[in-house]
Amino acid sequence: MLVHEAPLCADEGIEINLTSAADPPGHCIEASPLVPGDAFASVTLKPPTMAGKCDPVKDLAPPPLSGKFARACPWTDEYVTDFEGIACITPEDDGSCRLGFDMRFEFQEMIRDARTCTPCECGKPVGGSCMADVLLFSDASCSNMLASINEILAEEEICREAHEGSPLAGVRVVFAQDEPGTCSPTTDVSLVDGTIESGETRIFCCSSVELVEVIHANADN
């Protein structure tokens, strides 16, 4: 928006940036600089512009890890009541599993998940339309409205005369029509890059939950 000291937008004018008007739409924008009444004779409203690009989602998360996971916990009887898993012990000194615990599993400690997703890219927006209403106010809180300039289209520039002697201190921009264009992806998929850094291998010698219940019953006897 350009604010002119001369009638009919005859001078170069002072620019007031309305870029922040779209987020959120309709909020009060304090005019910077504030335009006193004796310097406010007319105003040029440039057409609203459509976004020149689409910003793809950047914070993509890699797919969740799948497979068998183990958690080693100290054994106490309280785990037996609603135990959902298999009972495991550490292997013998020679690495073998003792009788009754012959289900052998090897797990690697996960040090760090270093996977990332490759970025997505979009083409330029296609289509869309925009029409704005601009409300001018003599105060920075947008309470005392001077004028409402309606239905400003994306292809036109409008010049309006100002109220004589009134300053310009606040502006609201309301979108009467806001239909964003669409962008087609130029990269169809995001790929997972990087690896999972693993640490020491842990061995578990495991049995079934039925054996845990037998052990518990024998302990009670």
Pick the range with the lowest mean pLDDT from 3-12, 59-68, 158-167: 59-68
What is the pTM for the complete model shown? 0.54
pLDDT per residue as tens digits for the range 119-133: 888 888 888 888 889
Residue 72 located in a structural domain: no
Residue 67 located in a structural domain: no
Instruction: Supply the Cα-derived Rg of the chain in whole angstroms.
Output: 34
Residue 8 located in a structural domain: yes
Res 152: pLDDT: 87
Specify whether 135 is located in the same domain as 156: yes
Specify whether 13 is located in the same domain as 115: no
Q: Which domain holds residue 158?
A: 2-56+128-179
Selection from 171, 172, 175, 131 nearest residue 151 by Cα: 131
Q: Predicted confidence band at 75 (pLDDT cuts at 50, 70, 90)?
A: low
Specify whether 7 is located in the same domain as 113: no
Selection from 36, 196, 50, 188 nearest residue 124 by Cα: 50
Res 172: pLDDT: 92
Q: Predicted confidence band at 2 (pLDDT cuts at 50, 70, 90)?
A: very high
Residue 62 located in a structural domain: no
Q: Predicted confidence band at 168 (pLDDT cuts at 50, 70, 90)?
A: very high
Lookup result for tokens 């964003």: 180
Domains identified in the chain, total number:
2
Specify whether 12 is located in the same domain as 115: no
Specify whether 45 is located in the same domain as 143: yes
Give the separation between CA 21 and CA 170, rounded to whole angstroms: 12
Planar angle of CA 215, 219, 221, nearest 5 degrees:
120
Specify whether 191 is located in the same domain as 167: no
Residue 68 located in a structural domain: no
Strand partners, 25: 22
